[in-house]
A and B are shown apart, each in its own frame.
Chain A
């Protein structure tokens, strides 16, 4: 038994393909998803690498074959226990499929909960959030890409770090890092009031559609530097400003009915704060907000607020508080001893009442990636966040590569008003925006 109570009988045996089964507890962030997910709210995110040339299927098959035993913690299926779901190892081949359907589809009941998708010059991976977050998913894509390039006889520079196919997976990669970094007897953060939600009508199922746009990284970087904030803070400010604009356009009655707090969830990769090599979920949210009850905000005021909230909330001590609250709830004696079918009802209710009702949107920035000398083979990357729920309606994923920043909006409504507002504002700031075919 490892420190985080993850049951891994023998990681090396999995690596060496001896097919010994193991099982793992769901990590703290993953626990909610089996209870709330369905055909629409799939909890599946996608990472796409758009190459400059069509994907060569032969080298790709060889690359996947080499990686078969490298990521045993992803070759698992969620199963129902009596008290909690758990992940059970299944030594099945990494699923490779043509990328023909809508992105971020749900996984079938008996499938592995990640897949590799290929179409023309696009190589994508889709992961259920039960398995990992964007950070872990991108590490997998990085390993796959570099192995693929290697099989295409393209030399990959040594300084590009990625998990190598011939390495054994370390125990830290299996780790539930939330439990590992949980500290007892820390007070919980204060509850936040409910916030504004976009008032758009939902699409008919299948609801989810994606809009992808490419921006100049140099332009946006210059703009952020001008305001002395990070690119993430700048984009969050644009997000909040767009929400405010939409709120202002509502009719008087609707405006009085809607809540006046605009709060955006911004995932933070905790691997950068804590010394963790986990390949499973390890991110939390900071929640910059503005309150229109205090009056209208100029963009400058929004960006200042966002910057300071983000600086404050990414402090390790405050992150400890959030981890303590989340893991503490999971370890609550009443909750943990409640049978799963009742627990699922509670989690479902909690998710809709206390979860997304307190946020107006989500913006995930995975940062800028680089592959050194092989960058010239790649056009761009796209990060498509999981389909938002009926309250959030729209969410946003950001990924930078080379001199481009690609923004993908996931939307389940009939309206593109929010995306229009967001990009129009960027254009008004002198940042060129090009909408891409997805």
Chain B
């Protein structure tokens, strides 16, 4: 007879864990006696997930590093100085910072993204320090980075909190894309024209927002509690 040490219930002989408290059981058969001892819970699925993340980081790092090196070599060999390669290099550096944080810092996704935002800002400021003539770093890239984070982080929080996930998720993502487009268009127009003048983002918004409305309508129509009698019964 095997008794769970936590719950005191009798378990079947072939059980590995107590179904109630998940306490794993090991049976050490010595001197004809069966004993149980509590062992530390292993989380193989979590470990597998982290191992996969590490492999992905390694692959990403090699790709990004090769991108940085190749663009720098080409730029330097053609112009003798860093000119256009600063764009792909800065983008690769930002991607590398995000990939490293997501792979190695075991925390909530929101905190990981916040940390990525801070580090990316420092990377862009560092580029600006070494290339003070590149005004776009401060006036273009930093506002766009902020805009992306300001939209994406709340989107992730909202998606996490939404209980019933369906077409509403797609609708929210489209709303986020529309917002990002509008903000980027605004930032770019301010940078180049000195005033907010939305152009292509208006077309994106005009295309996506009706889709969002349709998706939300379909989502609400198929919700379980669309039964008005249930909600308004007296």
Tell me whether B234 and A55 are in contact (CB under 8 A): no
7 nearest A-B pairs in the assembled complex, by CB-CB distance: A120-B8, A58-B12, A98-B20, A54-B10, A98-B7, A336-B234, A98-B21
Asked if A82 is at the interface (CB within 8 A of a chain B CB), the reply is: yes
Please judge, given known A-B contacts A25-B233, A81-B232, whether A88 and B225 are in contact too, CB under 8 Å.
yes
Within 8 A of A (CB), among B1-19: 3-4, 6-12, 15, 18-19
**19 pairs from A and B in contact (CB 8 Å cutoff):** A53-B10, A54-B9, A56-B10, A57-B4, A57-B12, A57-B20, A58-B11, A58-B15, A79-B225, A82-B231, A83-B233, A83-B234, A96-B19, A98-B6, A98-B21, A118-B7, A118-B9, A119-B9, A337-B234
Q: Please, which residues of chain B bring their CB within 8 A of the CB of A58?
A: 11-12, 15
Please judge, given known A-B contacts A81-B232, A83-B234, whether A118 and B224 are in contact too, CB under 8 Å.
no
CA distance A167 to B24 in the complex (A): 36
Q: Please, which residues of chain A bring their CB within 8 A of the CB of B8?
A: 54, 119-121
CA distance A79 to B225 in the complex (A): 10
CA distance A55 to B8 in the complex (A): 8
Q: Please, which residues of chain A bring their CB within 8 A of the CB of B11?
A: 56-58
CA distance A81 to B228 in the complex (A): 9
Point out residues on A near B: beta carbons under 8 Å. 5, 7, 21, 23, 25, 53-58, 60-61, 79, 81-84, 86, 88, 96-100, 110, 118-121, 336-337
Q: What is the interface of chain B mostly: helix, strand, loop, or mixed?
A: loop
Please pick, from A23, A61, A97, A337, the residue contacting B227 in the complex, using a CB distance under 8 A. A23
Tell me whether A55 and B10 are in contact (CB under 8 A): yes
CA distance A81 to B234 in the complex (A): 9
Asked if B229 is at the interface (CB within 8 A of a chain A CB), the reply is: yes
CA distance A68 to B105 in the complex (A): 42
Task: Tell me the smallest distance from the CB of A394 to a CB of chain B, in Å.
Answer: 30
Tell me whether B232 and A82 are in contact (CB under 8 A): yes
CA distance A88 to B18 in the complex (A): 31
CA distance A119 to B5 in the complex (A): 10
Q: Please, which residues of chain B bring their CB within 8 A of the CB of A121?
A: 8
Please judge, given known A-B contacts A55-B9, A56-B9, whether A84 and B234 are in contact too, CB under 8 Å.
yes
CA distance A110 to B18 in the complex (A): 25
Asked if B106 is at the interface (CB within 8 A of a chain A CB), the reply is: no
Please judge, given known A-B contacts A97-B20, A98-B21, A118-B20, whether A57 and B234 are in contact too, CB under 8 Å.
no
Q: Please, which residues of chain B bring their CB within 8 A of the CB of A96?
A: 19-20
Point out residues on B near A: beta carbons under 8 Å. 3-4, 6-12, 15, 18-21, 163, 224-225, 227, 229-234
Q: Please, which residues of chain B bring their CB within 8 A of the CB of A21?
A: 224
Q: Please, which residues of chain B bring their CB within 8 A of the CB of A83?
A: 232-234
CA distance A66 to B9 in the complex (A): 20
Task: Tell me the smallest distance from the CB of B8 to a CB of chain A, in Å.
Answer: 3
Task: Tell me the smallest distance from the CB of B231 to a CB of chain A, in Å.
Answer: 5
Please pick, from B3, B12, B225, B233, the residue contacting A54 in the complex, using a CB distance under 8 A. B3
Tell me whether A120 and B229 are in contact (CB under 8 A): no
Please judge, given known A-B contacts A21-B224, A57-B12, A57-B18, whether A120 and B7 are in contact too, CB under 8 Å.
yes
CA distance A83 to B233 in the complex (A): 7
Task: Tell me the smallest distance from the CB of A423 to a CB of chain B, in Å.
Answer: 28
Task: Tell me the smallest distance from the CB of B160 to a CB of chain A, in Å.
Answer: 15
Tell me whether A119 and B227 are in contact (CB under 8 A): no
Residue among B9, B15, B231 facing the most chain A CB atoms (10 A cut-off):
B9
Residue among A5, A53, A86, A98 facing the most chain B CB atoms (10 A cut-off):
A98
Q: Please, which residues of chain A bring their CB within 8 A of the CB of B20?
A: 57, 96-98, 118
Q: Please, which residues of chain B bring their CB within 8 A of the CB of A98?
A: 6-7, 18, 20-21
Q: Please, which residues of chain B bring their CB within 8 A of the CB of A82?
A: 231-232
Residue among A25, A58, A84, A96 facing the most chain B CB atoms (10 A cut-off):
A58
Tell me whether B9 and A120 are in contact (CB under 8 A): yes
Q: Please, which residues of chain A bring their CB within 8 A of the CB of B227?
A: 23
Q: Please, which residues of chain B bring their CB within 8 A of the CB of A61?
A: 19
Q: Please, which residues of chain B bring their CB within 8 A of the CB of A7?
A: 229-230
Q: Please, which residues of chain B bring their CB within 8 A of the CB of A337?
A: 234
Residue among B18, B20, B21 facing the most chain A CB atoms (10 A cut-off):
B20
Tell me whether B230 and A81 are in contact (CB under 8 A): yes
Measured CB to CB, the nearest residue on chain B to A338 is B234
CA distance A25 to B18 in the complex (A): 38
Please judge, given known A-B contacts A57-B12, A58-B15, whether A119 and B231 are in contact too, CB under 8 Å.
no
Q: Please, which residues of chain B bring their CB within 8 A of the CB of A81?
A: 230-233
CA distance A118 to B224 in the complex (A): 34
- Further 11 A-B residue pairs, CB within 8 A, beyond A58-B15, A81-B233: A54-B3, A54-B8, A56-B9, A56-B11, A79-B225, A82-B232, A84-B234, A100-B7, A100-B21, A336-B234, A337-B234
Measured CB to CB, the nearest residue on chain A to B230 is A23
Q: Please, which residues of chain B bring their CB within 8 A of the CB of A120?
A: 7-9
Measured CB to CB, the nearest residue on chain A to B228 is A82
Measured CB to CB, the nearest residue on chain A to B7 is A98
CA distance A382 to B154 in the complex (A): 50
CA distance A84 to B230 in the complex (A): 9
Measured CB to CB, the nearest residue on chain B to A96 is B20
Measured CB to CB, the nearest residue on chain B to A60 is B9
Q: Please, which residues of chain B bring their CB within 8 A of the CB of A100?
A: 6-7, 21
Q: Please, which residues of chain A bring their CB within 8 A of the CB of B229?
A: 7
